[in-house]
Structure 1
Amino acid sequence: MSDAFKPRSVHRGRFRPFASFLTALRFLTRMPVPFVRTVDPPPLKESMWMFPVVGAVVGTVAGVALLLAHVARLPELFCGLFALAVGAMLTGAFHEDGLADVADGFGGGNTREERLEIMKDSRIGAFGTLTLVITVMARASLLAALLVLKPLAVIVLVAGAAAFSRSLMVDLLWATRPARANGLSAMAGQPNRNTTLLALAIGGLGAGIGGSMVLSPEAGVLALVAGGLALAMVRGLAIRKIGGQTGDVCGAGQVMAETAMLAVYAAAVAFR
């Protein structure tokens, strides 16, 4: 991730999907983007509509890793853990770090100020450790449950959950005020309504159509609803605890939304 988001010049009204993709890719992942400067990147807040596309890339790679481990006849739970490890290497565990910070802050602080201070601490506490262990094991087991499907179906579902959960981050940034004036989310900027709607449309259509084709229309829609409800719960808790969102809250929302979607997919597979 890089905090160098300011463009060299302003191109208002220009539609530059490749430049926006590179800006989003550089922010959300650790993937090398050595030529991002040559395309004159737009501001991050104008590139957030590409968050679900970056999510789909990360999810596709994780899905392939899941399948490769399965082809090697490794235990299914290990396959799920391996896929999560590959995804974490791509993102630098960006979202998981946010989830752990939120768990520590919300669980260990008694006031808004204490919670924000704990969330800034790079050290991980008991709440964060326990939350990470539970969510990692939960997602690994849910990914393992998808291995009864055809390989392409697995990739479609994993990529769809990764994409829509990241489009929900854009909605969180748009609809919720920052809890800090100088945090990562405040620095990234607030996307406008059109950017948010485009991100939700890309992520929602991709995940909804994919889930409907692979499983059933009901499962596709229910997964989107589950992801949205998970994010709404994180948002409501953040507003109550710290008065708004931060970069950590966005990361926590992404992980919880993705987990909720995978849970719907796994349940749909079990009831087929």
Structure 2
Amino acid sequence: MSDISDPPQTPSKPLRPVSELLVALQFLTRLPIPFVRTVDPVPLAQSMRLFALAGALIGAVNGVVLTALSYLQLPDVMAAALAIGFGLFLTGAIHEDGLADTADGLLGGKTRERRLEIMRDSRIGTYGASALILAILCKASAYHTLGEVKPWQAILMLAATGAFSRAMVVDMMWATRSARSDGLASMAGRPSRAAALFSIVTGGALTVWAGWFINPISGVEAMAVALLITALMRRAATRLVGGQTGDICGAVQVLTEIGMLATFFASIH
């Protein structure tokens, strides 16, 4: 019989992807993720290669909740609002917080130093509040429109947008230098090129597959929109604050997800 003084067993390589996924979920959600003794947590930067898969799970869960609320015969707007509220609770609104701080900083500051200072401030300003309201209204409209497609299509669409939008976060952290040396993005570590490519390919494959059931080219169009939004955010972040921050990465996730949903729905009509 072993006791607590025994050294932990070295996890087997087959469990490494499991560990990476658990670390990704622990960072991207507020779920209490239990680690068994045989699963050794890996560095966050390494687990980022599975951010797309974690995002797909988050999106799929949101889709299931939205579908369940619709089956309860709730008004479409109420079902959309409650599903969005569940998603905010699930993730701790980590990305929306980044969007608000990014809007306040990039739009409210006059110098690089002042913009970074505003983004670090936990208080929300006019730009941040406006950005949050607009983002939630856009999501509510998209969730409401999901009632026009079959439930499994809605779940698949939300899984795809959840996956590729978080792959864009990994791409942002890999391809854009950090604006700070002590921020969340810097402390999380920079993902490798292989991790970024794996995340993009994983999220992209799911997006193409999901789009195929809606409109054969809608998935490709949705990815193109997400890549364009990411490129514009990268350019703005580099010019205004010298690189990316955790807040800017959160803003990228929210904006690319909304852009992808809008593209999917445009292909339906």
Give TM class, smaller chain: over 0.9
1:14 Cα deviation from its structure 2 partner? 8.3
**1:30–1:268: structure 2 CA closer, same or farther, 3 Å change rule?**
same
Unpaired runs of 5+ residues, structure 1, are 1-7
2:144 aligns with: 144
C-alpha separation in 2, matches of 1:84 and 1:233 = 26
> In structure 2, how many angstroms separate the alpha carbons of the residues matched to 1:59 and 1:236?
28
Give the equivalent residue in structure 2 for 1:57.
Answer: 57
Structure 2 gaps, min length 5: 1-7
CA radius of gyration, larger in: 2
Whole-angstrom distance in 2 between the partners of 1:211 and 1:146: 14
Identity of paired residues, percent? 46
In structure 2, how many angstroms separate the alpha carbons of the residues matched to 1:69 and 1:60?
14
| Cα drift, residue 142 of structure 1 | 1.1
- TM-score (norm: length of structure 1): 0.92
Partner of 1:120: 120
1:133 and 1:227 map into 2 onto residues whose CA distance is: 21
Amino acid at match of 1:182: D
> Does structure 2 retain, via aligned residues, the 8 Å contact 1:69–1:79?
yes
Q: Distance in 2 between matches of 1:175 and 1:36?
A: 34
Q: Which residue of 1 aligns with 2:232?
A: 233
- 1:220 deviates by 1.2
Tell me the CA shift for residue 40 of structure 1.
Answer: 1.2
What is the CA distance between 1:74 and its match in structure 2? 2.1
1:109 maps to amino acid: G
TM-score normalised to structure 2 length: 0.93
For the Cα contact (< 8 Å) 1:9–1:40, is it kept in 2? no
Shift of 1:38: 5.0
**Native 8 Å contact 1:10 1:42 kept in 2:** no
CA contact (8 A) 1:234 1:253 kept: yes
Distance 2:10 2:42 in 1: 7
Structure 1 residue runs of 4+, over 6 Å off? 8-11
SS in 2 for 1:33: coil
How many equivalent residue pairs?
261
Q: Does 1:71 align with 2:84?
A: no
Counterpart position of 1:198:
198
Which deviations, in whole Å up to 9, do the C-alpha atoms of 1:217-264 show, x marking residues without a partner? 211110111111111111111111101000000000000000000001
Pairwise CA distance, 1:156: 0.1
Q: For residues 138 and 236 of structure 2, what CA distance do their matches in structure 1 show?
A: 21
Q: Give the counterpart letter for 1:130 in structure 2.
A: S
